[in-house]
Amino acid sequence: MAHQFEVVVIGSGPAGYVAAIKAAQLGKKTAIVEKWLKEDGSTTWGGTCLNVGCIPSKALLYSSELYAEAVHGFDTHGIIVKSPKIDVAKMLARKDGIVNQLTTGVAGLLKGNGVTRFEGKGQLKANKVVQVTAADGSIELLEAENVILAMGSIPVEIPPTPNDGDVIVDSTGALEFSEVPKRLGVIGAGVIGLELGSVWARLGSEVVILEAMDKFLAAADGAIAKDALKCFTKEQGLDIRLGARVTGSERKGKKVEVTFQDADGEKKEIFDKLVVAVGRRPYTQGCLSDDSGVKLDERGFIFVDDQCRTTVPGVYAVGDVVRGPMLAHKGSEEGIMVAEIIAGHNAQMNYDAVPNVIYTHPEIAWVGKTEEELKAEGIDYKTGAFPFAAIGRAMAANNTTGQVKILADVKTDRVLGMHVFGAGASEMIAQGVIALEFASSAEDLQLTCFAHPTMSEAVHEAALAVDNKAIHKMNRKKR
């Protein structure tokens, strides 16, 4: 006999578990399916984000940032620390403890909200039947009125650098180095490559990042990307090589020799470890039977409409398996939207107000349009920027690198985008998200009272600078 549910969710990452909890809160009989097993054979909840993504990487980023501050920054404050050392094993244990606490917490939240948990691989079959195959091969069938597909994504592998789980690793392996590599290669100067490269560079690695594209952080605003590249290379010592396309690799004992092409021809570099961080792809392998009716697009993503409906009525897909940025918070909001729709409520998601964050130090964050996008779309805009170097709180904290930049429509004054490079950018960007969500004008921000002294005063000043009204810097002369 098949189990009967109103909602069945496949995948327990931030998109899946949030959707399941919300559906249960809305009174729906809900089940969730998860296949991820820990080393001890037990099921772990929370998907990539909690287990090998957002959370563990941030734990290592924060630990490594504190170490770098102790080595390079304490003296500025008059704090004398002789020869700080890093205990990598203890740092990793702390990271693992945080992961365990949060994944256990997700399991508790699912149980507390009345969501039935099934452990095994979920596959959607015809007529909204979900087959769950446990690790021991046993099978259970779930019949659902509605199915939410939230299987997440996996790292992209490239033929020139096959993952051997030892010297050549993906982002998961880069979270588990037992010692600091003397020389670390990273393929990809995107979010993951920059964050993981930063972790080990702070701890003492000589880090070389090979990026095939000629432009650094093409998705970010050009002025912000330019500032960030200068900071990471000249101030922090990351060796970022643009236009470097990796063509091959060869193990040399416990090292790896990487071959790549740049503007000057073929080159080779030898590394102790190599991290392949060229992106992620949707995980759908074995999750959709041939008769499920669900269609994929040309890039392998599940095809959905603006409200995450698939080609099968009653079947939805959210998170990394569908179009849009692969971001945990985007997936979570999609999960909530779908649960609301299933419950008969009106719901939609504003994809124009999804924030992006890179957790380097300083952080990079943005929401809305970049200046380059506005130019390409022929939108008449105005811009204001303000440097953290002129912010008292930034000076006090020795965090004066970077700026806030705001873009607004010339005719309506509506905020079109906000971009931040600086300490605490991941928190400040929420102000831009709220501005976009409520269709705020630059004047709305200008008339808002910001606390002093705070880093967020740069947001206020950037908004003022949009109309040449900044107080704490000289304004552009009017033509």
Output the CA–CA distances (angstroms, integers) from residue 451 to 176, 236, 357, in the order listed. Answer: 41, 31, 23
Query: Residues 6 or more apart from 145 whose CB is under 8 A from it?
Result: 5, 6, 7, 128, 314
Interior angle at CA 204, CA 198 and CA 210, nearest 5: 45
Q: What H or E segment, with its residue span, contains residue 140?
A: strand 139-149
Rounded CA-CA distance 279/326 in Å is 10
Structure tokens given for 27: 């009174």
Rounded CA-CA distance 332/316 in Å is 14
Structure tokens given for 246: 């990796």
Q: What H or E segment, with its residue span, contains residue 425?
A: helix 425-437
**CB burial of residue 167 (10 Å; 0-12, 13-18, 19+):** buried
Rounded CA-CA distance 30/9 in Å is 8
Q: What number of residues does the chain have?
A: 479
At 236, which amino acid appears?
Q
In 3D, which of 275, 48, 272 has the Cα closest to residue 157?
275
At 64, which amino acid appears?
S
Structure tokens given for 162: 């096959």
Tell me whether residue 77 is one of the annotated catalytic residues.
Answer: no
Structure tokens given for 21: 């909890």
For 314-379, the DSSP string reads TEEE-GGGSSS---HHHHHHHHHHHHHHHTT------GGG--EEE-SSSEEEEEE--HHHHHHHT-
Using DSSP's 3-state secondary structure scheme, residue 161 falls into coil
Q: Chain-centre distance of CA 220, in angstroms?
A: 14
Per the residue annotation, which of 72, 77, 345, 452 is the catalytic one? 452
Rounded CA-CA distance 192/198 in Å is 10
User: Is residue 180 a contact partner of residue 197, using CB atoms and an 8 Å limit?
Assistant: no
User: Mind telling me the catalytic residues?
Assistant: 452
